[in-house]
Copies of this chain bind each other. A is one copy, B any other.
């Protein structure tokens, strides 16, 4: 985590640095990203950089952390407060929708997140532990759904929770090809989500 000197900085300077970092880490792999570029684009000297952050990893971790927090807030805000008023599939829909909206508005953060997601080596370098919070989130949702009688009792909650997480990633992948909305075949993102939910709800088997 950043040093105190960083937090003591005026807000706009902090922001400039973070923006530069996001640009750099989104554009290049972790190892190819250069702290000199971050410093330069943030308009600070490399000496200052090392007075704010321990090293390269420190900044990267901070960005990842900020992203996670930001994303969680994104979803919570709307629905979570009145969770009990909604059905499982409504909440799932809202969750995916929020995730998509987040991705749309924060494509650089998604790019960074994916980089970490698919680099075990880096993950170990960044954290030792770190449990997957997404899966827990979906797991809770499923359990409530089963209690409500909305969700098939046959399913394995742990497993399906992980699959729903995976589908969430697929969704973002599908909709954002190289930071551009996926246009072919679909009227809009909403249509994709609804088709995906239909699949999640009913499966592929032909209804007799």
A→B interface (CB under 8 Å)? 27-32, 88-89, 111, 114-115, 117-122, 142, 145, 149-156, 158-160, 162-163, 165-167, 169-170, 173-174, 178, 185-186, 192, 195-196, 198-207
User: In the assembly, how many copies of this chain are there?
Assistant: 4
Q: Which of A156, A158, A201 has most B Cβ within 10 Å?
A: A156
Q: Contacts A115-B119, A158-B185 known; A163 to B206 CB distance under 8 Å? A: no
Chain B residues near A155 (CB-CB < 8 A): 195, 198-199, 204
Nearest B residue to A177 by beta-carbon distance?
B120
Cβ contacts A to B, 16 pairs, < 8 Å:
A27-B121, A114-B118, A118-B118, A151-B204, A152-B205, A155-B204, A156-B185, A159-B186, A160-B195, A160-B199, A162-B173, A163-B170, A166-B169, A200-B203, A201-B204, A201-B205
Q: Which are the 5 A-B pairs with shortest beta-carbon distances?
A: A118-B118, A166-B170, A203-B203, A202-B203, A156-B195
Q: Which of A152, A155, A159 has most B Cβ within 10 Å?
A: A159
Known: A120-B178, A166-B173, A203-B203. 13 other contacts (CB 8 A): A29-B29, A29-B31, A29-B119, A142-B204, A151-B206, A152-B202, A155-B195, A155-B199, A156-B195, A167-B170, A200-B203, A201-B203, A201-B204
Q: Contacts A118-B119, A159-B192, A185-B156 known; A206 to B170 CB distance under 8 Å? A: no
Whether B195 contacts A159 by the Cβ 8 Å rule is: yes
Q: Which of B31, B166, B206 contacts A152 (CB 8 A)?
A: B206
What is the CB-to-nearest-CB distance from A93 to chain B, in angstroms, rounded to a whole number? 13
Whether A204 contacts B145 by the Cβ 8 Å rule is: yes
Chain B residues near A160 (CB-CB < 8 A): 195, 199, 204
CA distance A178 to B121 in the complex (A): 10
CA distance A30 to B118 in the complex (A): 13
Whether B192 contacts A153 by the Cβ 8 Å rule is: no
Nearest B residue to A28 by beta-carbon distance?
B121
